[in-house]
Chains A and B, each alone.
Chain A
């Protein structure tokens, strides 16, 4: 069984008079799609629409032909869905197992024995085994994020909508969770909003860059990297006319149309392509 096919047509979403999302056409199927964009570009709004928790102001969304505005079809979509909200929304007073048991019940997983097995398994996947009796408020920020991911995996959904899953994670778990997401995407449809272009978006099958609610790029992450072709440089001194970021002691990576003095050309990464689009409008 493959992950569902998601199609959106001319969807828009307004908050009062402000138009926060305006997309012509978006199509996603089995595999991982990374949604990139600066803060406030509409990533979370898009994910909320795909996760059926809000309805678009305009346009249509279909998940394997199912219409999320219809109550019965929306429930059918939600039976296949695992959703991690931007704010994990964890009740600090609850214990880890109690919380997952609650989410498992919300996902209609039963009986208790089956829920226990899913809980046991998901805690292993996110490296929280042995934490079942811990109060959520006693967990670190990274552990809480991993718990949020665990609840999304409960029940084995084939549509995963994850909003910034790598936030607050240390380097080890960023790698582990990015690998897990890439593995899941072999059969499931995974939509993931992230700021980790090289660690996560590069592992995805597709990337969408949002700018002020509009899709500035849709394609393979390699094509995104190519947007910075001929504009990526490495230098020992940052050039004020280019977009430079430190990549090591005394080493800077710059994105700019002209070669900074003393810089050498570098192979562009997905993050470079993203910066080329968002900063240089390439």
Chain B
């Protein structure tokens, strides 16, 4: 619809309601062009100033048609970002005041951190959390792209907050970042499952699975084992497999009733 010469336009022309800005230069005389220019100025003046986030994204070179998709992400509300920041603050505080030694001090932080982007993705797409879902499904932008844009936005926003939180954790060495790959893995797996189930159900199942896995590994080995090299490699593999499965099942997101 970049060149909107359509049936609606023809109908509106007949009815004297045609959007005048659609007229080409050869179809207008000088007074009409002047009027069109004023109408364009009026449309620009009517448009409110873009939000700070939209201006920042534009400066970062994000595509003009992608910016509104990002800024409309339901999970990008101040309430969500505030909750994430608060959760991370408590986790960092718990790590810094714990009586445990070394990596055990940050066990709770490493367990909870991967779940933050996961929950954000669950709140980014779907009829239960997005009132515009049905309108979005009927639009030519495919559901996969919309889900991906929103999912990545939430992952990026929550990861940035968590990275800042990690910097304030006073112990654990490199283990302070051991949540990163598991976070990608659980989010990617949740995205893949979201093509079959409601995103909230998918996120709930994956989060439960992650908690059970951490507890089992901690009992079987120790905290270092639960977040060690084997888990990191496994997480990377799950992240890739989830992304591939999500891509393959992308068309399922193009309909309203994808969830049983």
Q: What B residues does A218 contact at CB under 8 A?
A: none
Q: Within the assembled complex, what's the spacing in Å between the Cα atoms of A76 and B142? A: 11
Q: Within the assembled complex, what's the spacing in Å between the Cα atoms of A185 and B4? A: 17
- A30 contacts partner chain B, Cβ-Cβ < 8 Å: yes
Q: What B residues does A102 contact at CB under 8 A?
A: 68-69, 71-72, 132
**B interface footprint on A124-158 (CB within 8 Å = 1, 0 otherwise):** 01000110110000000000000000010101111
Assuming the contacts A80-B6, A110-B65, asked whether A156 and B19 have C-beta atoms less than 8 A apart, the reply is yes
State which of A92-100, A202-210, A236-244, A261-269 sits at the interface with chain B.
A92-100
Q: Contact: B66 with A105, CB < 8 Å?
A: yes
Most buried by A among B9, B11, B46, B139: B139
Q: What B residues does A117 contact at CB under 8 A?
A: 19, 21, 39-40, 43
Assuming the contacts A54-B256, A185-B11, asked whether A156 and B135 have C-beta atoms less than 8 A apart, the reply is no
CB distance from B258 to the nearest CB of A (A): 10
Q: Within the assembled complex, what's the spacing in Å between the Cα atoms of A132 and B49? A: 11
Q: Contact: B133 with A89, CB < 8 Å?
A: yes
**A interface footprint on B138-167 (CB within 8 Å = 1, 0 otherwise):** 111110001000000000000000000000
- A196 contacts partner chain B, Cβ-Cβ < 8 Å: no
**B interface footprint on A76-94 (CB within 8 Å = 1, 0 otherwise):** 0011111101010111111
Q: Contact: B135 with A85, CB < 8 Å?
A: yes
- A170 contacts partner chain B, Cβ-Cβ < 8 Å: no
Give A93's nearest chain B residue, CB to CB. Answer: B77
- B248 contacts partner chain A, Cβ-Cβ < 8 Å: no
Q: Contact: A186 with B11, CB < 8 Å?
A: yes
Q: Within the assembled complex, what's the spacing in Å between the Cα atoms of A12 and B89? A: 54
CB distance from A40 to the nearest CB of B (A): 18
Instruction: List 24 A-B residue pairs with CB atoms under 8 Å apart, sorted by A's residue number.
Output: A55-B255, A80-B6, A99-B72, A102-B72, A103-B135, A105-B141, A106-B139, A106-B146, A107-B139, A107-B140, A107-B141, A108-B1, A108-B141, A112-B47, A116-B46, A117-B39, A120-B39, A120-B46, A123-B46, A153-B8, A155-B1, A183-B17, A184-B12, A186-B11
Q: A78-B140, A97-B46 are in contact. List 16 more A-B contacts (CB 8 A).
A: A30-B7, A83-B138, A89-B135, A90-B132, A97-B47, A98-B48, A103-B135, A106-B140, A109-B1, A111-B65, A121-B19, A156-B1, A157-B1, A184-B11, A186-B14, A187-B10
Binding site for A on B (CB under 8 A): 1-2, 4-12, 14-15, 17, 19, 21-22, 39-40, 42-44, 46-48, 51, 64-69, 71-72, 74, 77, 130-142, 146, 251, 254-257
